[in-house]
Amino acid sequence: MCAEPFKGGKLARQAAMLCQDRAFQSYLDKRRRYKQGLTEAQLPDGTHNADDARDWLCAACQIQSRAELDHDSTAAATFRRIRQRFMKWKQLTGNKS
């Protein structure tokens, strides 16, 4: 018998909106450049899209689907930290997009 799939709630919706946010996608571009020591020519802004953001977020939270955020307290805590760091970056850089 198959287990019921997770239903997404508030956190899953927040994660979906975050992944659609161009500023978050840009944040991932800049973060990856910094972490891997790449130049903007090697990894230009606009490289990450919504699908890439979803894949990155799921990997970072160690989940298969954003719906799991509402059912896994460890993944939820990781998501909140990611969102908090992004919001801080956005505020510091004055990124309004």
Q: What is the pLDDT of residue 96?
A: 63
Q: What is the pLDDT of residue 3?
A: 45
In sequence order, which residues have a C-beta less than 8 Å from that of residue 84 and are 6 or more positions away?
A: none
Give the other-Cβ count within 10 Å of 26's Cβ.
19
In sequence order, which residues have a C-beta less than 8 Å from that of residue 59 and are 6 or more positions away?
A: none
Given a cut of 50, is residue 2 above it in pLDDT?
A: no
Do residues 23 and 97 lie in contact, with contact meaning Cβ atoms separated by under 8 Å?
yes
pLDDT digits (tens, 9 = 90+) for 60-87: 999 999 999 999 999 999 999 999 999 9
Given a cut of 80, is residue 97 above it in pLDDT?
A: no
Least confident of 2-16, 37-51, 58-72: 2-16
Q: Supply angle C-alpha 25, 31, 33, rounded to 5.
A: 105
